[in-house]
Amino acid sequence: MAMSEAQVSPAARPSETGQSPPEVVIETRTLSKVYRDFWGRTKVQALKALDLQIYRGEVFGLLGPNGSGKTTTMKLLLGLLLPTSGEVYVFGRPATDVSKNERIGYLPEESYLYRFLNAEETLDFYGRLFNMPRSVRRQRVADLIEMVGLTWAKKRPLKEYSKGMTRRIGLAQALINDPDLILLDEPTSGLDPIGTREMKDLILRLRDQGKTVVMCSHLLADVQDVCDRIGILYQGELKELGRVDQLLAMRDVTEIRVPRMSPEAESEVKAVLAKHGLEILSWGNPTTTLEHLFLRIIRESEEHPGLRAHGRGDGHADRN
């Protein structure tokens, strides 16, 4: 069924400038969600006027303390919740259009799996929900079990799985339909360091395949390792948005890095800098850590409640 013009997100329309803009997979416009009590009174405002665009082929990290609105945002994208106000589009369609979910894979923070099924039976069950032919389903199940490193335990019932193993089979379940958009809530939770590295490598592999990955995590180092861009939420508001490498750049410090400089050139440079009382360490914009940035944003948000994201390092568009 064709969409009317009013149903199509403006960001999904062709550019009028002649240049091909990045394909917008997710777009929210002044998206808000209020949870109310039995009498209809405002209990919690979980999300406040969220404006966000996420593009095809990027890994986007959604960060924030508990209660900041991350899970609410995920559920709004999936159409599991209705917004109180504002708009949310996925693949150019309203999030309430359930047909879009055929192209989405979702790994919740706690996977809801049938404990008495084994890995093969679990994935086969979810493959049936997508009406996958038997031959395709069997091959897909085998490939995914190998991909997440559970071939050795594929016949064991899930009730015998550790938390890390459950995360692995949960990810395989999220990928059973070969989705274009993958939503991951705490994907490395319960994984050991090797499993964490493998999970991050898999996320990067999915991005290289042209898929879009949105992940929520409290493990900031993991986000820093794999995400192209991040958004930091605090008390339902978007406080920071941009490219990880640019957000972490310490712009008030200059580095100079000159490999294999000749002795003559080194002597001349040192002489010039010594004249000004300076010493060469390196050149460029050294980076801080994502943890430091995250804590600074939260601290500034507490000191200045009205502070909103300004898109530093966004790489696509400026924000107010």
Q: Give tens-digit pLDDT for 40-98.
A: 778 888 999 999 999 999 999 999 888 889 999 999 999 999 999 999 999 999 999 98
Assess whether pLDDT exceeds 60 at residue 5: no
Residue 297 is part of a domain; what is its CATH number? 3.40.50.300
CA distance 92 to 62: 20
84 and 71 assigned to the same domain? yes
What pairs with residue 182 in β-bridges? 105, 213
Residue 10 has pLDDT above 50, yes or no: no
Nearest residue to 112 (alpha-carbon basis) of 122, 102, 103: 122
Count structural domains, the chain. 2
What's the pLDDT at 26?
97
For residues 32 and 79, state if they share a domain.
yes
- Is 260's pLDDT higher than 90? no
pTM (two decimals): 0.78
Q: What is the pLDDT of residues 90-136, one digit of tens each?
A: 999 999 998 999 999 999 988 888 999 999 999 999 999 999 999 99
| Distant-in-sequence, close-in-space partners of 68: CB < 8 Å, separation ≥ 6 | 233, 234, 235, 236
Phi-psi label, residue 67: left if phi above 0, alpha if psi -120 to 50, beta otherwise: left
**Would the pLDDT of 2 be above 60?**
no
Q: How confident is the model at residue 163 (pLDDT cuts 50, 70, 90)?
A: confident
CA–CA separation, 251 vs 286, rounded Å?
8
Is 309 part of any domain? no
Residue-range definition of the domain harbouring residue 95:
5-110+180-249+287-303
Distance CA 280, CA 96 (A): 57
For residues 8 and 310, the model is more confident at 310
Looking at the fold, whether 227 and 265 belong to one and the same domain comes out as no
Mark out the alpha helices in 113-239 (DSSP H runs). Answer: 119-129, 134-147, 163-174, 193-208, 220-226
**C-alpha distances out from residue 11 to 65, 91, 151, Å:** 30, 10, 42
Q: SS3 of 250, please?
A: coil
Q: Is residue 128 part of a domain?
A: no
Q: Look at residue 254 in the predicted model and tell me its pLDDT.
A: 66
